[in-house]
A and B are shown apart, each in its own frame.
Chain A
Amino acid sequence: MEYIIANFIQINLSTALQVILLGFIGGVLSGFIGSGGAFFMTPGMMNLGVNGVVAVASNITHKFGKAMVGSHKHGKAGNVDKKLAAYILGTAIIGIQIAVAINSFLFKGASGHGVAKGAGSNLYISLVFAIILSFVAVSMLKDVLGSSKSGSTDSGPSRKIVDAMAKIKLPPVIYFKVADITVSLWVLMPIGIATGYLAGTIGVGGFIGVPAMIYVLGVPTAVAAGTELYLAMFMGAYGALSYAFQGFVDIRLTMLMYLGSLIGIYLGVYGVKVVNERYIRMVTSLIILLCVISRAIAIPMYLRQLGLIDIDPAYDVYFNMTSKFFLFFSGISGCLLILINVIRAYMQRRGIQKTLRVVKSTAE
């Protein structure tokens, strides 16, 4: 990969279009799933040759601005619990700091140049990515399939964990008005730290934050998504500042991602309004699983670059290509599924104009 300066790659028209496409797909998925989109964009950029830490830094910076716009919109709809966000944020900063320190250490502490220099950080990010998101996807899929077996057509998320957590009443127990939940601070803290750590490590905070708020705290889905965006704005600002201070933010990637993502988000959010909840969770979990496979395929390549396993470097191309294929397959197919529903709903909405009126001949 050709570098224009330090850690920043040369961007030609093809690369730019691919980043815009990544942004668009990430935006659609993010608007639809309600959390991040970074799970697609970060590895996508890594597949384009961007160093893992630069991809994360540029993405977290992109997320900061995006969350600012999104949370403003959610705020108007009454979906933001600022008090809950403030409590999670307090602990999330610790998580971000841990993540930035580990990433910087792995990148700057590594020997070698160019690709090899970033291999440690790439491996670490890929491993965290694969482990955490496998867990999220499998749990989500299990939940969806479980509700299918029970024959329920519109059942909400599982409440097992919420029920268990509700029993913990260790003071201070706090009431959050907008989310309408009462929860112990000791339940909130680990969620905040985990959200911050993942946001700082793989640029994916919402994937833990939103499900945790829904499945652990019992926050309504819309409020969880709105609060997460509000939270992401501050975490993104903090993460962006930290990474920018280290010199890892590629502003061009951030700006190119915006070109696709902000349009994509609107379409994804529109999709949420018109598709039933179980379908949303099913599509989401399948997309994440495919992304995990994509990242897992790239792991042997990073292990070789670190000298931990012995594989012919010529195979890197195949690893990269297969990884890229799975990533783009998951993103594009998921995005297409969502867009088909959006278009269908758009046409249907234009057609909805129907009031059936029946007046009885004899009033009783």
Chain B
Amino acid sequence: MKPKMTRPPATASPRPRAACWQLRLYVIDRTFKSVTALANLKEFCETHAKDGYRITVIDLLRYPQRAKADQILAVPTVVRRLPKPMRTIIGNLSDPGRLLAGLDLHHAA
């Protein structure tokens, strides 16, 4: 994939210069579920990812080919691109404990 295509409109990147955490959130449309997921993710990152983070939101409705390219089935899905290894969490992220375990932020921090 070309970098251009992998950089769809980023909606939230409060501290882009020190993006130690690269997270991608795959959603479909601006549904309640999508909005909740993004809000939950942001809140979570503010609390835990102190070194800085960048969230890229990808709307599969606009970029359906990304579903195949990035192996997405469930929505919402959060993929931790960096640091390695990749982690995948599905759901609207309403359970911070599971999210913490999934993103393994403790360890990485």
Partners in one complex: no
| B residues at A contact (CB < 8 Å) | none
